[in-house]
Structure 1
Amino acid sequence: MISLRKALLNLILAQVACALLQGKGEPFRKQPFRARRALNPIASSSSSSRESLEPRKTDLRFGQIASTPFVLFDAISKGSLKREEVKTNDIIIAGNEIPQFNLYRYQSYVLTRVYYQGMDAKENKVVRLDVDELDAEVPEIAAEIGGKWQKYLALYSPNYHKASGPVVVTEEEMRIVSLKEEILSSTVLAMPGLFWLWLAYKFWLYGQ
């Protein structure tokens, strides 16, 4: 009877381990593609700012697997979970993949810049208007310039963009997942694993 309990307990623990390993972590990319550099970087995406984002050792916030707890701890320490809006220099989760820019689903990146780009017909030049939040509207000055405006995002990860700098994508190309959304999603996915862990604990108590 005891050996049967042990076998069942080992089976449950194995299922828990498989559930954890089959999480949302992406496979490790050994040879990242060359990334497109951010256009006209401002202070938030300058080399000095990037250095502050790049730790001397491995930054667990940007790991390929199980980086969410470290991102959560970072957000709590900075107080960014207390607000609803996503601001520049916040850590976000990629909701889509663009391999040529080394952007991979479920991995974390720093939102270094958000800006609207348009064309000044009078001056015949490209104009970029920076905003501080992901959901910020087009600045009022854009109405004076006229034309159509497209929102762009600059994303950075020390794992992929240390040499090239932030990469620029449109909001449509890369669906941004806020940290709060990621926490809720991770909690729902973790429920089956927690159930098996609780059941294994009950069997362990029963065998004592």
Structure 2
Amino acid sequence: MGFYGIVVLCVVIVLATPALLVLVYYSWRNGISPMPASAPIRRTISEQVGAAAERITQSQQEQSDTITQLSHQPNQRSHLPLQVIEAGSGWGTLALHIMQNNPNIRITGIENSPLPLCCSRVLSRWKRTNIQFQQGDIYLYPYEQADIVVCYLFPGAMRKLRPILEQRSRPHTYVISACFAVPEWEPEQVVLCSDWYHTPVYVYRCGHRSYLA
């Protein structure tokens, strides 16, 4: 490597170091993995989001039919796209995979780490999706409008997020968590990914009989 090559390498290192430190800081602060979810995990979560969306849509249609029979007033809520919130959307790869396989839903990714947030927005525009990547704190976000909440967080973050979801989520909201369970909740279903570690994906439904252990 020549002199100019060494200079360029040094400049790259100097510029990259602050960005890496910021990434590590926000990852530690939020309890979020700094690495994107693997392909098997993305695929499994996407499938579970699709299955949950089908069950929600079917339930809404049944409610709409009942309302129509009783009052001849259609249930307008059933015609709205389902809202998926990813708590800690990171680099955006998981949200993009979910949208690719479930085009009829609406996804909002919440992320407060600047570098992953910027990358996810660029990737979303490049893919021409309507995913909304918002800068925000997952512990302050209002989850009342969420039909499905997706998260890939560390145990400490799941412990901190649990009472927030209990207070702010609507009844029957699905919570899908990769790798780590929600403390003190009993999952409705546990699906193992096809990766080397057989990573578990936990599916919960707020207010369901299996919601609390």
TM-score by length of 2: 0.28
TM-score by length of 1: 0.28
The structure in which a higher percent of residues are helix is 2
Higher-Rg member (1/2): 1
